[in-house]
Structure 1
Amino acid sequence: MKILALDLGTSSVRGLVLDADGDLVSGALARRRMRLSTHDDGTGTLDGRQYLTGLVECLDELAAGGHLRGVTMVATCAQWHSVVPLDARGEPLGPVLTWLDTRAVPAPGAPGPADADAFHQRTGTWWHRCYWSMRLPWLRARTDTPVTRFAGLVEYVLGALLDEMPMSISQASGTGLLDLRTLDWDAEACELAGVRPGELPHLADMDWRGRLRPEHARRWPDLADVSWHAPVGDGAASNVGSGCVDESRAAVTVGTSAAVRLIQPVPAGAPLPPLPEQLWRYRVDHGHVVTGAAYSCGGNLFAWADRELRLPRGAELAAALDRVPFDGGPAADPRLGGDRPPGLAPAGSGQLSGISFGTTGVELLAGLMRGLCDLVAEDLAVLESTVDSRVEVVLGGGAVAASPWWRRAFAATLAPRTVRHQPDPEIGASGAALAASGRFGDAAQPVDIGRTDESDPPTVPASAPSGAAS
């Protein structure tokens, strides 16, 4: 058995083929970088058509290498919160708003939820610029052509390839419009969003499976009869890929962005556990919820520092970081991209303080990295209060995979908890594959922090390729 796993991330789109044990088939990885448009006004968008082209190129590359032969299912993990307005032909009327876009504001006089706490407990979200309840009216007011319907990036992209593409329960939970208990669109959230009949995607049922359209089946004949499973939100998939699928383990994932999350079994219709006011909650699938906090900073801190601070490279950078104590470097607020919900700090809120003429670029980077560790530690304490016990922490994602210093800094900051590392750089895609194949708890066991710290560490990437988190 082979599984084609797709990762529809923010900085790249990737396709990889996994064997029956969940390991990457040699050479079976195709990747296309995506250009994320960002501006000081809070813009954070992708071009949907270019994204679709990137995915098609990945599939073409895998097909040309013969890697699609023997594939028996397709699993997908995809970014949460994205939205794009579509016309009657299903074509984008503008760019895709990603989780990083902070421009949406409520219309003057818009009242918001009648009971903000009840709304939060029901949907797991807030009336916030990250969610469709605020984004749809804002988008509609800025779209010249009438909007026929709205979709997330994954529904638009896969909808162009498959016979049908409903929205998975996992992706729907990231819109902020889903009642997490009933697994149906929430009436009040839809009213806030100004939703009209037919504008929202249909919701996929538990047993939904997709098939390629005939023209695409001819292009990739090895996938002609293969079932496509409902996509899983990237953060939830990363938890599964990290082996964090119950209340004993929390995942801290650092990819382009970062998050701390905990999965709990909650079947559809069952009462939801109480949700602290500063945490969000989404759905992994019909039987599990994931609770946590997310940050707009992560591997993108590397990208900024590498571009602006003239950092050394590879082993030289690793050696320079090793000379910085974990509590050293300047005090830093790493929110260069602003707050994720429920925070409202705009893009450009990052700060560095305590800098002297002797402060190095490496120390500035270390301060930003430690700043993220501190944010995670605060929210992890709140997350633990929902389960009344200290949890083990598993680090994952491309950014911590590339930086032994950051792994050790997290371990020091989160002590006395046990902190381990999941070295698989493709934990999101792996997690989606495990969920699709019914092997929810079969991820490779994480390893101790010290055991995988190489004597000759890899080059720290300018941006983390995987594990983008929500």
Structure 2
Amino acid sequence: MNILALDLGTSSVRGLVLDADADPLPGALARRKVHLTVAEDGTGTLDAAAYLAGLTECLDELAAAGHLRDIRLVATCAQWHSVVPLDRAGDPLGPVLTWLDTRPAVPAGVGGPADPADFHGRTGAWWHRCYWSVRLPWLRDRTAGVARFAGLVEYVLGQLLDSAPMSVSMASGTGLLDLRRLAWDAEAVALAGARPGELPELAPMDWRGRLRTGFARRWPQLAGAEWTAPVGDGAASNVGSGCVDPRRAAVTVGTSAAVRLVQRVPAGTALPALPGALWRYRVDHEYVVTGAAYSSGGNLFAWANRTLRLPEGSELDAALDRLAPDGVLGANPRLGGDRPPGSAPAGSGELRGLSFSTGPVDILAGLMAGLCRMVADDLAVLESGVDAPVEVVLGGGAVTASAWWRTAFAAALAPRRVRHRAEREIGATGAALVALGRVPEAERLGGTGRTEEDPSPTSAVGSGTSARSDAPSTR
């Protein structure tokens, strides 16, 4: 049996084929870049129809190459927080708001949760522009004829499948889900102003979907395959990294970045205490993931490469190797603003300590090291809820592409043990392990057996591959 894994990210959409142990099959990968519309006012949107077209092109490519034979299960990981307004026919009434969009604002004169701390504990979220409690009223004021709302993955799968309810993992990213009861939270729904029928149906445990007839004819190899409930990309990345218990935290750097820790908390079980600075979402009905996220990651390199005329290849490697992670330019990497609970708008990045000798590589290194320090601060908060310091597994396309960045993380996170998971497709791998019901085995199948020790923060910066033009991944 093989597994088709779909990764519905921000910078690309990908389809790849894995074996029964969630190992990627050589060459069985199709990828399409995604055009993300960004603007100075905080816009961060995607075109839903173009996104769907990119996914179907990936499936066509895999089918043409013969990679869809023996597929019995389809797993999906997808970006959290996205939302698109739909009409009665299920067609988009505007672009998809992604996690990067900072325009939604709390309506003037409207009160928030009655007890903000209790609200945060129940939903793992805040009354914040990133969540549907603020996004839905903002969209409704600007969109005529809204019949219902969906996330990007529900829209895409709704076009392909006989049904596409929202998984508890994706629902937790809306900020409207009661994480213990696994039902829409009444207060959060009221804040969102959601009317009956406007929110997606929630997928039951062990939900399975099938392709619509037309698409089953297009990809007959998938006609009998079962599609499983999507997993939020951050949760999937933890599982794919083998970080599935409180001993081990995942730091993932793709397009954006995050630090997260997974705990087993079955539905109906009391939730652990949640520090006020951290969010909490669902992996599935059995596990929760707690952490912090940042709007900056591999997109820092993309910006620097586009703006600063960086050297390329070995020249950039050598220039970074000459810089010690703790001696670089001071920088605030919040170019895209804050993820919750912060409220800084897009354009909040800063550089400190510029001189006439400052060059493009100094600026890049300062931004990268700035993100490392933000992660270190939040990891300390995350550790406050567990019994002992954790070890860290680094993953994601951007950090895999940069040996210097990995060493900078090792320095910022010292004295913790820091390892690196070199496999780029950790999100897809994690989604497949969730679909297989093998989350407890993820440490063996997806993580520690394939990690490598990162350089000691006291050693010289490594000379391996550094940041490249393809560094940004999907998160």
CA–CA distance in structure 2, aligned partners of residues 73 and 243 of structure 1:
21
- C-alpha offsets along residues 319-363 of structure 1, whole Å, 9 cap, x if unaligned? 110001111221000000000000000000000010111111001
- 1:26 Cα deviation after fit: 1.8
- C-alpha offsets along residues 6-54 of structure 1, whole Å, 9 cap, x if unaligned? 0000000000011233222122110000010001101000000000000
Unaligned runs of 5+ in 2: none
Q: 2:28 corresponds to which letter in structure 1?
A: A
CA–CA distance in structure 2, aligned partners of residues 463 and 114 of structure 1:
43
Give the stretch that moved more between structures: 435-444 or 420-429. Answer: 435-444
Matched, 1:6 2:6: yes
Partner of 2:141: 141
Partner of 2:336: 337
Partner of 2:473: 465
- 1:411 Cα deviation after fit: 0.4
Partner of 1:447: 452
CA–CA distance in structure 2, aligned partners of residues 349 and 98 of structure 1:
19
CA–CA distance in structure 2, aligned partners of residues 329 and 65 of structure 1:
47
Q: Report how many aligned residue pairs link the two structures.
A: 465
CA–CA distance in structure 1, aligned partners of residues 467 and 80 of structure 2:
29
- 1:462 Cα deviation after fit: 4.9
State, as a whole percentage, how many aligned pairs show the same letter: 70
Partner of 1:71: 71
Q: 1:107 corresponds to which letter in structure 2?
A: P
Instruction: Say if 2:404 and 2:466, in contact at 8 Å, map to a contact too.
Output: no
State the secondary structure of the residue aligned to 1:443. Answer: helix
Give the stretch that moved more between structures: 455-464 or 234-243. Answer: 455-464
Instruction: Say if 2:403 and 2:464, in contact at 8 Å, map to a contact too.
Output: no
Please give the TM-score of this superposition, normalised by the length of structure 2. Answer: 0.96
State the secondary structure of the residue aligned to 2:249. Answer: strand
State the secondary structure of the residue aligned to 1:167. Answer: coil
Instruction: Say if 1:300 and 1:462, in contact at 8 Å, map to a contact too.
Output: no
CA–CA distance in structure 2, aligned partners of residues 389 and 327 of structure 1:
26
Instruction: Say if 1:334 and 1:351, in contact at 8 Å, map to a contact too.
Output: yes
RMSD over aligned Cα atoms: 1.2
Partner of 2:106: 106
Q: 1:64 corresponds to which letter in structure 2?
A: A
State the secondary structure of the residue aligned to 2:380. Answer: helix
Q: 1:448 corresponds to which letter in structure 2?
A: E
Instruction: Say if 1:315 and 1:459, in contact at 8 Å, map to a contact too.
Output: no
Matches within 5 A, 1:64-213: 64-144=64-144, 146-213=145-212
Instruction: Say if 2:407 and 2:462, in contact at 8 Å, map to a contact too.
Output: no
CA–CA distance in structure 1, aligned partners of residues 328 and 211 of structure 2:
52
- 1:215 Cα deviation after fit: 0.5
Q: 2:278 corresponds to which letter in structure 1?
A: L
State the secondary structure of the residue aligned to 2:160. Answer: coil
Instruction: Say if 2:410 and 2:455, in contact at 8 Å, map to a contact too.
Output: no
CA–CA distance in structure 1, aligned partners of residues 419 and 258 of structure 2:
16
Instruction: Say if 1:255 and 1:298, in contact at 8 Å, map to a contact too.
Output: yes
CA–CA distance in structure 1, aligned partners of residues 464 and 332 of structure 2:
30
Matches within 5 A, 1:375-454: 375-440=374-439, 441=442, 442-445=445-448, 446-450=451-455
Instruction: Say if 1:399 and 1:461, in contact at 8 Å, map to a contact too.
Output: no
Instruction: Say if 1:296 and 1:337, in contact at 8 Å, map to a contact too.
Output: yes
CA–CA distance in structure 2, aligned partners of residues 252 and 270 of structure 1:
27
CA–CA distance in structure 2, aligned partners of residues 416 and 207 of structure 1:
41
- 1:460 Cα deviation after fit: 1.6
Instruction: Say if 2:318 and 2:463, in contact at 8 Å, map to a contact too.
Output: no
Q: 2:261 corresponds to which letter in structure 1?
A: L
CA–CA distance in structure 2, aligned partners of residues 76 and 403 of structure 1:
27
- C-alpha offsets along residues 77-131 of structure 1, whole Å, 9 cap, x if unaligned? 0000000000011000000000000000122211111111110000000000000
Q: 2:446 corresponds to which letter in structure 1?
A: A
- 1:435 Cα deviation after fit: 1.1
Partner of 2:37: 37
Please give the TM-score of this superposition, normalised by the length of structure 1. Answer: 0.97
- 1:461 Cα deviation after fit: 2.8
- C-alpha offsets along residues 193-215 of structure 1, whole Å, 9 cap, x if unaligned? 00100000000011100000011
CA–CA distance in structure 2, aligned partners of residues 35 and 121 of structure 1:
35
CA–CA distance in structure 2, aligned partners of residues 211 and 52 of structure 1:
17
CA–CA distance in structure 2, aligned partners of residues 33 and 49 of structure 1:
14
Partner of 1:294: 293
Instruction: Say if 1:302 and 1:462, in contact at 8 Å, map to a contact too.
Output: no
Instruction: Say if 2:301 and 2:467, in contact at 8 Å, map to a contact too.
Output: no
Instruction: Say if 2:112 and 2:127, in contact at 8 Å, map to a contact too.
Output: yes
CA–CA distance in structure 1, aligned partners of residues 20 and 228 of structure 2:
17
Unaligned runs of 5+ in 1: none
CA–CA distance in structure 2, aligned partners of residues 209 and 391 of structure 1:
35
CA–CA distance in structure 2, aligned partners of residues 410 and 52 of structure 1:
36
Instruction: Say if 1:299 and 1:462, in contact at 8 Å, map to a contact too.
Output: no
CA gap of 1:51–1:207, structure 2 versus 1, over 3 A, is same
CA–CA distance in structure 2, aligned partners of residues 201 and 234 of structure 1:
19
- 1:459 Cα deviation after fit: 5.5
